[in-house]
Amino acid sequence: MKPHHAVLFQPTTIGSIHVKNRYAMAPMGPLGLATAEGGWNQRGIEYYTTRARGGIGLIITGVCQVTNPADNVPTGMLPNPVQSPGNFIRTSRELTERVHAFDAKIVLQVGAGFGRVIVPSVLRPGDRPASASEIPYKWDPSLTCRELTHAEIRAVVDNFRVAGAVAKKAGFDGIQVHAVHEGYLLDQFAIEFFNRRTDEYGGSLENRLRFTRECVEAIHQSAGDDYPVQLRFSPKSMIKDWNEGAMPGEDFVERGRDIDEGIAAARLLHSYGYEALDVDVGSYDSWYWSHPPMYQAKGLYVPYARQVKDAVPEVPLIVAGRLDDPDLAASIVGDGTADLVSLGRPALADPEIVNKIAAGRTELIRPCISCQEGCIGRIAAYTSLRCAVNPQACREADIVLHPASSRRRKKVMIIGAGLAGLEAARVLAERDHEPVVYERSDHVGGVVVAGGQPSFKEDDLALLAYYDATLRELGVEVHLNTEVTPEMVADTDADHILVCTGSTPHSLALGAGVPVVEAVDALMDPAALGQRVAIVGGGLTGCELGISLRDKGRDVTVIEAMPDILQVSGPLCHANHEMLHTLVPYRGIDVIRNGHAVRVTDEGLLVEAGGQQRLVACDTVVTAIGYRPDQELWKALADSPKPRHLLGDARRTANILYAVWDAFEVAYQL
């Protein structure tokens, strides 16, 4: 390993749990990993075991809800230690024993409930969500939550008592309570903005934390006073108002928990018996803090964790938040901010990330790109945890890249070195096929190279660097500056053809005047655009380009034909969509909605909106109006006898997830 990373591999004790290194796996909702009886299915067992094999010292499972009679979460949606304790213990025993074989520890995260943030698909028709008080429902503010009754609170606490005994018998090294964080049920009780109660669960901070205190006391009653209990904890909420979060660096009045109360709460929680705090920042009302997109800085929680550590140095802290850079991780462990560094999405993207850091092979780490499409996006749409850049995530039990037999081994011609072509080549090489890649340009990566130019898209370029290093490691032959023709396909001795020719941008005829360039060219050479830039198209590309140009001090106007920006973009996780949608006006970008570009003049772009025309003064017009599949070569091969597949944007223009997943699926099956 690199010498300055050695601190990450020093053993430590987090509370009373001895951990072999300074890496934890952050809890991520285990959707799709439960049996109907509330135990772990084989996918879940293999998923966590794979990360333990990958070198992580402490595994923290995703949240396993106890039965909350007010939430009525459907059985089998999440593992549940009290639904069928025998089944949970049986399946958990296999999980914990396999994780322990790698000298890793594993903590069971157990949740009290959702309250006002329960998703509509789970809320039963006619029911009102139950929260600390009568407050607006997160997903439909016109609906008012009802107040949780004392009997319902007692039922949840009683189930934590059962969960403590079950977790201990199942072999877990401790429990992490979920959570005085992100605005879940316990947080709704803990935060005065949400809690208007006048009984013993409302008013003072001690009263608002009473529910959380009763949970840890119940666990210790059944599992013993020495059984380790941690807490997922947000020392600051970043709430400006209902469903309105703060921007990074914004001066605002905190309506949720501010850092001073967060520090006071940390002291109390530690005194109640929570021996370690797993720290992040945010809430459902500021979801892009709790689930940070690429527009958030690396290590975004570190300043807040530092304040907690300085004020309460005796409390061990696990710190998460885009900490996949081992240099950054080593710095916060080295200065004492974090006792453990927590990796969530990076461990989804590459379960071997810790082993690769230890081996000094960081160039082979497949990076998380913070798109959140495979994780949060798939959970929201399909209640199934996955990863955009790692199609095997949460399917480790089902999909193994077995080598092809000598009889089935193929030479495969891959036309195009965009993400689809690169992923196909990787998978084929891993399976002992012989992929050969042909790329007409002088570089690999296709449009991702341009898309990765904004400073906040650095991980897109890191993904391309990963493919470059991995294909070199696998010995894959890559031919650049090579235009493949139908004649070359006819003459090749390849057994199979994969056409990954990407896409071409839609264009506009805007006449003569100021220069008109396409978004890819603008991203690659922003210096040539001048001070004032008009962007036609308020989709993902246009908005990201606009923010990147504002970062460089340019004046930007976005012209969007729809009533709002980001309406016709491809799949976009809620947290990413919400943050980008808020960032555009916050960064001072002028948006013309329901606007249509008419023509350019020597002074700028003439735009029609609301039945009137106006001139947008600018030095350059950039078109960002989408792409269409490039199928010219595919159509030319219509009569070819060679077996072939069409992949990536050449098949359908989408996003990185579908380019990678489709390529993986075809290459896995060949």
Domains of the chain: 3-382 (3.20.20.70), 411-505+629-669 (3.40.50.720), 516-625 (3.50.50.60)
CB neighbours of 138 closer than 8 A, spacing ≥ 6?
116, 117, 183, 243, 284, 285
- CB count within 10 Å of CB 204 equals 10
DSSP notation for 223-259:
H-TTS-EEEEE-S---EEETTEEPPTT-----SS--H
CA angle 54, 58, 59 (to 5 degrees): 75
Whole-number Å distance between alpha carbons of 593 and 526: 24
pTM, to two decimals: 0.96
Residue with tokens 């067992």: 45
pLDDT at 571: 65
Among 23, 47, 184, 272, the one annotated catalytic:
184
pLDDT at 402: 93
pLDDT at 507: 92
pLDDT at 122: 87
Torsion angle of C-alpha atoms 50, 410, 448, 504, degrees rounded to 10:
-150
Structure tokens at 177: 């309570």
pLDDT at 121: 85
Task: Please give the backbone phi and psi of residue 146, each rounded to the nearest 5 degrees, phi first.
Answer: -95, 160
Residue in 234, 341, 227 with CA at minimum distance from that of residue 277: 234
Contact 333, 306 (CB under 8 A): no
Residue 612, burial from CB neighbour count under 10 angstroms (0-12, 13-18, 19+):
exposed
CA 533 to chain centre: 31
- What residues does 341 pair with on adjacent strands? 23, 319
Structure tokens at 16: 């009373």
The packing angle between helices 259-272 and 210-223, to 10°, is 30
pLDDT at 568: 82
Contact 133, 197 (CB under 8 A): yes
The packing angle between helices 574-586 and 540-551, to 10°, is 50
Consecutive sets of 10 residues in the chain, 670 residues long: mean pLDDT of each? 96 97 97 96 98 98 95 92 97 98 98 95 91 97 97 98 98 97 98 98 98 98 98 98 97 98 98 98 97 97 98 97 98 98 98 98 98 93 94 96 93 98 98 98 96 97 98 98 97 97 96 97 97 97 98 98 88 89 97 97 97 96 96 97 97 95 97
CB neighbours of 152 closer than 8 A, spacing ≥ 6?
68, 69, 70, 130
- CB count within 10 Å of CB 291 equals 24
Residue in 666, 370, 331 with CA at minimum distance from that of residue 544: 370
Whole-number Å distance between alpha carbons of 32 and 52: 20
Question: Would you call 48 a catalytic residue per the annotation?
Answer: no
- CB count within 10 Å of CB 435 equals 28
Three-state DSSP at 459 gives helix
Cα within 13 Å of Cα(566), Cβ side? 18
Whole-number Å distance between alpha carbons of 612 and 596: 10
Contact 19, 105 (CB under 8 A): yes
The packing angle between helices 302-311 and 259-272, to 10°, is 60
Question: How far lies 153's CA from each of 161, 189, 198, 207, 306, in Å?
Answer: 13, 11, 15, 14, 33
